[in-house]
């Protein structure tokens, strides 16, 4: 450190926050987080449109409320992306058919498998794990998580869509007390948040070769989802108030906004796993330092006890 720097700045890399940031920056470049995020964003883009075909065909056959789903997503996505998705959903819902439903379902499973495989590979790298020894078992875990993820997305959409108005409209089929309907309208997004935390936590856990403690999984999950919500809201505010992609790129502006948002999402999910890896590495360093200190103290105490004996013999 340069001599002109204050003492607190010289000691900063030795503090816990300084060590944490140093590890994160090293891992970001050493593990190619930016490149892995771009690859994951590419797969997520190809995941999105078959899923929209499947979802819109399902909505068309079930006659669900597309605008209600878009309204629940409005706090997180830029308006141009919402408009693009709503236009696409509305168009395909009008032309929905069982054939389109099956087409969307097949590719909705294939492309998310590629995305889940890419993200699991990044998670394994963050935890410093080698390539899986049993590739067949690993591919089965990827397929299992893909099915779980699709079910989670469907349940999340149901939670976001089914509000108090919907519950009151089905009163002829299932009579529910009014206090429960009001409570559900307030708590459904809390349940949705818990569901999303479980989905990301399951991904981090299933990428491992062995079971890990919750303390080695949960911190990164919470950090990733918190960071994702903050970045998504900030990016939506930036797009709405400062950036005007449609002026420069025309009709491609919404696609560019979507790609940037997918890239940010991918990087944040990978960084969540990297945070867990950093915490594990820092805990191992602390244990090693404590062992070294205990060893030095024992050696010092042993030397002090043997010194009087040597003096007597002399």
Contact, 231 vs 251, CB < 8 A?
no
Contact, 233 vs 75, CB < 8 A?
yes
Q: Tell me how far apart the alpha carbons of residues 83 and 257 are, in angstroms, rounded to a whole number.
A: 12
Q: Tell me how far apart the alpha carbons of residues 291 and 293 are, in angstroms, rounded to a whole number.
A: 5
Q: What is the pLDDT of residue 258?
A: 81
Measured between alpha carbons, how far is residue 72 from residues 84, 98, 141, 240, 257 in Å? 15, 27, 31, 18, 19
Q: Which of 276, 265, 278, 268 is nearest to 220 (CA)?
A: 276
Q: Tell me how far apart the alpha carbons of residues 314 and 13 are, in angstroms, rounded to a whole number.
A: 49
Residue 173 region by backbone torsions, left for phi larger than 0, else alpha for psi between -120 and 50, else beta: alpha
**Burial grade of 120 (CB within 10 A; 0-12, 13-18, 19 or more):** buried
Contacts of residue 203, defined as CB under 8 A and 6 or more positions apart, other chains included, come to 116, 119, 120, 123, 145, 149
Q: Which of 139, 148, 107, 136 is nearest to 121 (CA)?
A: 139
Give pTM, 2 decimals.
0.74
Q: Which of 189, 186, 148, 166 is nearest to 64 (CA)?
A: 166
Q: Tell me how far apart the alpha carbons of residues 48 and 55 are, in angstroms, rounded to a whole number.
A: 10
Q: What is the pLDDT of residue 81?
A: 74
3-state secondary structure of 232: helix
First to last CA, the chain: 48
Q: What is the pLDDT of residue 164?
A: 56
Q: What is the pLDDT of residue 235?
A: 85
Handedness of CA 247, 250, 252, 255 (dihedral sign): positive
Q: Which of 226, 207, 227, 232 is nearest to 217 (CA)?
A: 207
Residue 96 region by backbone torsions, left for phi larger than 0, else alpha for psi between -120 and 50, else beta: beta
Q: Tell me how far apart the alpha carbons of residues 305 and 285 are, in angstroms, rounded to a whole number.
A: 30
Q: What is the pLDDT of residue 185?
A: 65
Q: Which of 195, 197, 218 is nearest to 276 (CA)?
A: 218
Look at the block and give the residue holding tokens 């709405």: 240
Q: Tell me how far apart the alpha carbons of residues 176 and 180 are, in angstroms, rounded to a whole number.
A: 7
Contacts of residue 5, defined as CB under 8 A and 6 or more positions apart, other chains included, come to none
Contact, 56 vs 96, CB < 8 A?
yes
* pLDDT digit string (tens) for the chain, length 314 residues: 556 666 666 677 778 888 899 899 999 999 999 999 999 988 888 887 787 777 777 766 766 566 776 776 677 677 777 777 777 777 766 776 777 777 777 877 888 888 889 999 999 999 998 888 888 888 888 888 888 887 777 777 666 666 555 555 555 455 666 676 666 666 766 777 788 888 889 989 988 888 888 889 999 999 999 998 888 888 888 877 776 666 666 667 777 888 888 899 899 999 999 999 999 999 988 888 888 888 887 777 767 666 555 555 55
């Amino acid at each position: 450190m340069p001599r002109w720097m204050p003492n607190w700045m010289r000691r900063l890399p030795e503090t816990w926050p300084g060590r944490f940031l140093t590890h994160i920056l090293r891992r970001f470049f050493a593990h190619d987080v930016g490149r892995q995020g771009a690859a994951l964003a590419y797969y997520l883009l190809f995941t999105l449109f078959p899923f929209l075909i499947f979802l819109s065909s399902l909505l068309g056959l079930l006659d669900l409320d597309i605008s209600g789903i878009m309204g629940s997503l409005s706090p997180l996505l830029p308006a141009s992306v919402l408009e693009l998705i709503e236009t696409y959903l509305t168009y395909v819902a009008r032309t929905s058919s069982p054939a389109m439903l099956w087409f969307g379902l097949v590719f909705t499973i294939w492309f998310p498998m590629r995305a889940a495989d890419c993200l699991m590979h990044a998670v394994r790298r963050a935890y410093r794990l080698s390539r899986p020894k049993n590739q067949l078992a690993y591919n089965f875990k990827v397929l299992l998580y893909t099915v779980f993820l699709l079910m989670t997305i469907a349940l999340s959409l149901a939670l976001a869509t089914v509000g108090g108005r919907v519950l009151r409209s089905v009163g002829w089929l299932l009579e529910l007390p009014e206090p429960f309907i009001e409570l559900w309208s307030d708590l459904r997004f809390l349940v949705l948040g818990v569901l999303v935390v479980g989905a990301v936590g399951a991904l981090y856990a299933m990428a491992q070769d062995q079971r890990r403690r919750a303390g080695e999984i949960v911190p990164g999950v919470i950090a990733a989802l918190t960071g994702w919500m903050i970045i998504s809201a900030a990016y939506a505010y930036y797009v709405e108030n400062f950036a005007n992609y449609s002026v420069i790129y025309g009709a491609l502006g919404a696609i560019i906004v979507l790609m940037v948002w997918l890239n940010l999402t991918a990087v944040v999910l990978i960084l969540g796993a990297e945070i867990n890896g950093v915490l594990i590495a820092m805990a191992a360093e602390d244990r090693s330092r404590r062992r070294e200190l205990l060893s030095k103290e024992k050696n010092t105490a042993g030397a002090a006890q043997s010194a009087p004996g040597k003096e007597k013999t002399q």
